[in-house]
Structure 1
Amino acid sequence: MFYSRTIHDLVDIKEIWLEPAVPQYKRGQEILDRFPDAKLIEVPSHWKIPSLHGFHGAVENWLKIKRNVLILGVKKSLSCRPNSRSSNFISPSESNGCTMSCAYCYVPRRKGYANPITLFVNIEQIMGYLERHAKKQGPKTLPDAVDPLYWVYEIGENGDCSADAALCDNIKDLMNLFKRIPNAKLTFATKFINRDMLAYDPQGKTRIRFSLMPHKLSKLVDVRTTSISDRIDAMNDYTAAGYEVNVNFSPVIYYEGWEADWKDLFTELDDKLDARTRQQLTCEIIFLTHNEHLHEVNMGWHPRAEELLWVPALQEFKYSETGGRNVRYKRGLKAALVRTLVEMVHRRLPYCNIRYAF
């Protein structure tokens, strides 16, 4: 099966910004060897690159930075945070940032502006920490909404693991790790089809969540991602390759005609999914949360998206834990929208469980 977008369409690395210790790590040297013609720029910290992070002028070169810049660093803080939705724990990141550029993504507002991919080269340390953490948990004796059998670790909170896997072996190494951890599995969401991952043999210990939304909406806000139809077309292949395949209906954005577009998406899913994929299909439903600062940034490079993302008449402010002003649909409106989409899933995809909807 042919997928139209490859990693070569997304990245052409011209510059690598790297911390001084990066070449001392095997993974760091492997990545540097892969891009021998890239200009190397040493920086004291992957977090502190003034011309990339928090630099207003970077807005004008948003997509160029995503395509041409790679950052390499050493992950300093290794810790797992408890979670209760898509996973039981949020793993230490193996990367931060993304080569894709979804207009609603929360990562740019945390790290600043274009935020290209940062790969962490101390993958052995990250893996050692995860193995020890999982061992401390012991067997999962009480099933929960996340998984009935395994402790589930989210490894893709700050990026897209499928794109990362096209640049280095961090994801393959993590998948191999979880194959041998008896009480745990890993999970990540993706908007990119990386066909090489079909050969990774996850043996049911990787849950991949394909993020989906109506086609015309995706074309506007899912910038530089694999098309929705190509994502759906890949789902049976991933199931056959040993993945647990789930879907994220995310973010759900309200606009005139939204229900008809979601019905069309559900029809396409129902037409294309085989019996094996249907049998284990679970979805997560997440309505749009946007951010005032990100809205201002987006106005500098993609104002058309903001016509749907920033609609003050329909939204209310909510302050984040870090003090940022986020917006979400007004409480009464959102409750009605959630009910509508949940009922639509039950009716049109009756075999699809709903892990959560909010």
Structure 2
Amino acid sequence: MQPDSVDVDEPLAVDVPPAPHDASGERVPIRDLAGLAPPPRPARRWTPRRVVATPAALDHPHGRRIVGRVEALGIEVERLRANRLTGLRGETERETYARAKSTLAIVVSPPSRRRLQPIAPSADWRVDLAEGCPAHCQYCYLAGSLSGPPVTRVYADLDEILDGLAEYAGRGTVTSRDARRAEEGTTFEASCYTDPLALEHLTGSWRRAVEHFAGWDAPVQLRWTTKYDDVGTFVGLAHAGRTRVRFSVNCLPVSTRFEGGTSPVPARLAALRRLALDGYPVGLTIAPIIALPDWRTHYGELLDLVAAAVDGVPGLDLTAELITHRFTPGSREVLLGWYPRTRLEMDETRRSRKHGKFGAVKFVYPRETMTELRSWFTAELTARVPACRILYWT
């Protein structure tokens, strides 16, 4: 489903397509599907139905650059009279969701976002260039984390955000002080609340961030992750090895059923290969790992795809971040409002209750399941993709 076309009366879940078979009727392993794949297609790009810009955003050069990019694509930009977003709510929660998800707002970042926060275990600091995502992932981690309708906001004060990063260099507690990851330097995570490649053709923000870090003569690294494959504007860009692009991937039953509006996993892995061949440090974010029936087979096929994608890449710098599926009572309620007929398992009675450092409750897999998953992924990644370094498991 295209990310800008949500029918509020129909479920967003789709059936998993049947596995391909050869002429003898035998199931074709996913690692042998390259010859059966369709010809390459243009990268999927989101076209918002409504784009608005606040007066404050238009005071910033980058805000005006975004407006210019959007209008050059033939999309009308509505100049608001005040720095407040309106017209996002529908008569039902699903209508509000659909309306907000098809809206792009060009705004100035709130002051709280300019005060960087640690983002363990991923990176030293979280830096936000946008908030919101046009994809339709039924396990969305933003549900319950962001307040109000899920409109996508892009920040016009990009230049000020990037200029303010220098004071945080060397002050982190994740990579800055971890001997195992010391070569990464001070790390800045720029995709906590958004997907960069879903928005880059509209904003140009992450290309400018890559160039900023390339010219920053210090032990620093920009990090972001994506479920898209539109990497053309990053190939050939001077990056100095200071940007690690990670691709969020999952097994076929999860990616086809629960990740609406995103690029297919093989396309994401092809994009990973393009960037790796261009000298970028790259990574896998395998998330959310779901203990679905026959999960070993499905995730084994995924790891075989990864191995094929990175085969023969010289000087490969590949990492993996392994994140199991979890949810909070609040996110569960929001997700069921957005996707009332989802088949995603969110049964609190089948999970273990875990408390965060501030007392927040989340529901994770029981210890036995977590141990089994972790042991398998650690062993299989090491065996199938030996060049890959596992950064963390959670």
Do they superpose with TM above 0.5? yes
Instruction: Spell out structure 1 runs of 4+ moving beyond 6 A.
Output: none
Q: State the one-letter code of the partner of 1:354.
A: I
Partner of 1:275: 312
Partner of 2:334: 297
Counterpart contact for 1:108–1:114, Cα < 8 Å: no
TM-score of the pair, normalised by structure 2: 0.79
Quickly say closer, same or farther: Cα 1:324–1:142, change in 2 above 3 A.
closer
* Match among 169, 194, 212 for residue 204 of structure 2: 169
* Greater share of residues in helix: 1
CA distance in 2, matches of 1:295, 1:143: 34
Quickly say closer, same or farther: Cα 1:226–1:64, change in 2 above 3 A.
farther
Quickly say closer, same or farther: Cα 1:232–1:136, change in 2 above 3 A.
closer
1:203-214 alignment runs, 5 A limit: 203-214=240-251
1:66-77 alignment runs, 5 A limit: 66-67=101-102, 69-75=103-109, 76-77=111-112
Post-superposition shift, 1:324?
5.3
Counterpart contact for 2:130–2:194, Cα < 8 Å: yes
Task: Give ranges in structure 2 of 5+ residues lacking alignment.
Answer: 1-38
Q: Deviations over 1:168-218 (max 9, x none)?
A: 122111111111222211001111112222243322110011111102211
Post-superposition shift, 1:310?
0.6
- Identity percentage over the alignment? 19
Quickly say closer, same or farther: Cα 1:106–1:324, change in 2 above 3 A.
farther
CA distance in 1, matches of 2:349, 2:315: 39
Verify: 1:37 aligned to 2:71, yes or no: no
> What SS does the corresponding residue of 2:92 show, helix, strand or coil?
helix
CA distance in 1, matches of 2:122, 2:176: 18
1:155-234 alignment runs, 5 A limit: 155-181=190-216, 182-194=218-230, 195-234=232-271
> What SS does the corresponding residue of 1:109 show, helix, strand or coil?
coil
Higher alpha-carbon deviation: 343-352 or 316-325: 316-325
Quickly say closer, same or farther: Cα 1:303–1:146, change in 2 above 3 A.
farther
Q: State the one-letter code of the partner of 1:6.
A: R
Q: State the one-letter code of the partner of 1:71.
A: A
Quickly say closer, same or farther: Cα 1:272–1:136, change in 2 above 3 A.
closer
Q: Deviations over 1:26-68 (max 9, x none)?
A: 121222333362334445446xx5845xx8824235345323x
Higher alpha-carbon deviation: 277-286 or 34-43: 34-43
CA distance in 2, matches of 1:142, 1:293: 34
Q: State the one-letter code of the partner of 1:166.
A: H
Counterpart contact for 2:145–2:331, Cα < 8 Å: no
Q: State the one-letter code of the partner of 1:72.
A: I
Post-superposition shift, 1:302?
2.5
CA distance in 1, matches of 2:387, 2:43: 30
Partner of 2:381: 345
Counterpart contact for 1:214–1:265, Cα < 8 Å: yes
Q: State the one-letter code of the partner of 2:190.
A: I
Counterpart contact for 1:3–1:193, Cα < 8 Å: no
RMSD (Å), alpha carbons: 2.7
Partner of 1:311: 347
Post-superposition shift, 1:328?
1.2
Verify: 1:334 aligned to 2:373, yes or no: no
Partner of 1:110: 145
CA distance in 1, matches of 2:393, 2:64: 43
Q: State the one-letter code of the partner of 1:28.
A: G
> What SS does the corresponding residue of 1:300 show, helix, strand or coil?
helix
Partner of 1:22: 57
TM-score of the pair, normalised by structure 1: 0.86
Quickly say closer, same or farther: Cα 1:107–1:45, change in 2 above 3 A.
farther
Higher alpha-carbon deviation: 233-242 or 56-65: 56-65
Partner of 2:47: 11
* Match among 28, 40, 63 for residue 2 of structure 1: 40
Quickly say closer, same or farther: Cα 1:145–1:160, change in 2 above 3 A.
farther
Post-superposition shift, 1:278?
7.6
Post-superposition shift, 1:112?
3.6
Higher alpha-carbon deviation: 292-301 or 243-252: 292-301
Quickly say closer, same or farther: Cα 1:335–1:11, change in 2 above 3 A.
same
Counterpart contact for 1:60–1:301, Cα < 8 Å: no
